[in-house]
Amino acid sequence: MTSIRLTDEEKKMLNGDFGSGVQQAMTLLTRFGAVFGAERMVPVDAVHLSTQCPRNLLRKMTEGVDTAKTLCSLHAAFDPSRIKEIGISEIKTGQFMATGATLDSKVFQEQLEIFSRLGFLKTFTCAPYLVGIIPKHGDVVILTGSSGQIISNSLFGARANREAVPSALASVVTGKTPETGLLKKKNRYAKILVELEGLNIEGFTDAHYGALGYFIGGVAGLENIAISGLNRRPSFESLRLLMSPMPVSGGVTMCHIAGLTPESPTLEQAFGGAKPIQSVKAGKKELQDAWEQLHTADSREVDHVAIGCPHCTIFELGEIASILDGKKLSENVSLLIGVGKPVVTLAEQMGYADIIIKAGGIFSPCCVGPSNPRVYLGDTPLIMATNSAKAAHYIVRGTEGKTKILYGSLRTCIETAITGKWVG
Ligand code: F3S
């Protein structure tokens, strides 16, 4: 344990001069920082918080706090009072979400009232960067959830650790966080080199990127990685699907791609001039093995299609609309699209939303992965198609394998929603 140097203001927070909520928050942060070797607190530029915040903790830590001390936004969320909008008639006794998200609409509203009082932006998305909250290179950002951190670190050059809800809430009320882990430059360098070999990256779909990321996370564990051999500049959507499974099959929170990651113009800079501690090859066999782990269904029938883990970009909605144009979903197949409201508003202006809704698709600001309400609140275990390796991983584990996954590209999933049978 280290002892943390606190500023006069931070000492006052710890002494209770700003009330009991702030005192509790600073106590938690100093203890947490001491355990993880922090020498000081640093100011936080933004917090993105899950609404799945224990009620007592939320009440206590915000006691006496009028406003959040930094820019704050809310994660993807399921509002239990709006179940009918996603085609669910009622919540039955005994049903629950694997993530523990509340199914009590009164509790949900109570929590929202506290977040509103503190000035949170009601973004309800796991992709805050798509609704205007874009971290700058070097910013300290606190994100709950599991994919925002790797995207913030690797694509925006911001500094983010994996964060628990209590410590993130403590940063909301203090505006501070202990300087640990990836907030320190020396901890951000790559350790493992992942060399792509013999892969036809030109022919990759979104699902290839996801399966590759799933493999990489599984072999890299908790280490920072750098990828070499990605001989084209993937789209932003492909990069998100590549990176978002890495913290799920493993615990990777920093993925360097030379020339793309802001602090890594070259591979040498990604490693800070040091040699990799390990090199891993990723070729056709590794990709195929990862794909087979994700695709757990052995039939071609489908009940449910989940797209938007992480929440969709406008380009993904455009692609969905182009496939659905003039068509209808197969009877008994639901299509749930996780997306933030501002992106839906843009899709309305582009005419995409109309096409998708007429075909039977549903937009929701909820999580379509481990808190997917169609999976957890529906009547039967489902066969679900998705283009998200992250959603596939979480749902198989959250349902103890009862929900079977058809894993493939966005195009394959949407065409499957039309035919009712897996077209991959
Ligand atoms: Fe978003 Fe849920 Fe996936 S919060 S990133 S849809 S796991």
Look at ligand 1, atom 5, and give the residue with the nearest C-alpha: 310
Assess whether pLDDT exceeds 80 at residue 289.
yes
Residue to substitute in 49, 99, 147 for testing ligand 1 pocket (most ligand atoms within 8 angstroms of CB): 147
- Predicted TM-score (pTM) of the model is 0.96
Q: How far is the CA of 244 from the centre of ligand 1 (A)?
A: 9
Residue pair 166/57 in contact by the 8 Å Cβ criterion: yes
Instruction: Give the sign of the dihedral formed by CA 168, CA 263, CA 252, CA 393.
Output: positive
Average per-residue pLDDT for the chain: 95
- 3 state DSSP class of 346: helix
Nearest CA to ligand 1 atom 4: 367
Q: What is the tens place of the pLDDT at every residue in 297-308?
A: 999 999 999 999
Q: What is the pLDDT of residues 128-186, one digit of tens each?
A: 999 999 999 999 999 999 999 999 999 999 999 999 999 999 999 999 999 999 999 99
Does 382 score more than 70 pLDDT? yes
- CA of 102 relative to ligand 1 center, distance in Å: 16
Instruction: Kindly give the distance from the C-alpha atom of residue 366 to the centroid of ligand 1, in angstroms, as a whole number.
Output: 8
The pLDDT score that the predictor gives to residue 2 is: 62
Confidence band, pLDDT 50/70/90 cuts, at residue 88: confident
Provide the strand spans (E) within 239-381. 255-257, 278-282, 304-307, 334-338, 361-364
% of the chain exceeding 70 in pLDDT: 99
Task: Output the CA 228–ligand 1 centroid distance in Å.
Answer: 27
* 147 Cα nearest atom in ligand 1: 5
Q: Which amino acid is at 237?
A: E
Ligand 1 centroid to residue 46 C-alpha, Å: 19
Q: Which atom of ligand 1 is nearest to the CA of 75?
A: 4
Gap from CA of 47 to ligand 1 centroid (Å): 17
> Of 368, 383, 377, which Cα lies nearest the Cα of 87?
377
Residue 288 tokens read as: 């195929």
Spatial neighbors of 36 by CB under 8 A, at least 6 apart, are: 178, 180, 181
Tell me the pLDDT band of 416, cut-offs 50, 70 and 90.
very high
Please tell me the distance between residue 347's alpha carbon and the centre of ligand 1 in angstroms.
Answer: 20
> Do 424 and 408 contact (CB within 8 A), yes or no?
yes
Question: Which atom of ligand 1 approaches the CA of 368 most closely?
Answer: 6
Hey, which of 124, 126, 364, 366 would you mutate to test ligand 1's pocket, going by the most ligand atoms within 8 Å of its Cβ?
A: 126
With b for 16 or more beta-carbon neighbours within 10 A and e for fewer, the 385-405 pattern comes to bbbbbbbbbbbbebbeeebbb
Angular region, 94: left φ>0, alpha ψ -120 to 50, beta rest: left
Compute the distance between CA of residue 322 and CA of residue 376 in angstroms, rounded to an integer.
Answer: 30
Check residues 66 and 2 and name the one with the higher pLDDT: 66
Q: Is residue 99 predicted with pLDDT exceeding 80?
A: no
Higher pLDDT: 102 or 217? It is 217
In whole angstroms, how far apart are CA 278 and each of 223, 249, 397? Answer: 10, 18, 29
Q: By alpha-carbon position, which residue is closest to atom 7 of ligand 1?
A: 369
Which residues does a 6 A CB cutoff place in the pocket of ligand 1? 76, 126, 145, 147, 309-311, 338, 367-370, 390-391, 394
Identity of the amino acid at 213? G
In this prediction, residue 77 carries a pLDDT of 94
How far apart are the C-alpha atoms of 165 and 253, rounded to whole Å?
A: 17
Separation of CA 207 and ligand 1 centre (Å):
16
Mutate to test the pocket of ligand 1, among 309, 316, 366 (most ligand atoms within 8 A of CB): 309
Average pLDDT over residues 334-361: 98
Place of tokens 């390990």: 278
Rounded to 10 deg, the angle between the 314-324 and 410-419 helix axes is: 40
Angle between helices 20-35 and 8-15 (to 10 degrees): 120
Which residue's alpha carbon is at the smallest distance from atom 2 of ligand 1? 367
Å from CA of 395 to ligand 1 middle: 11
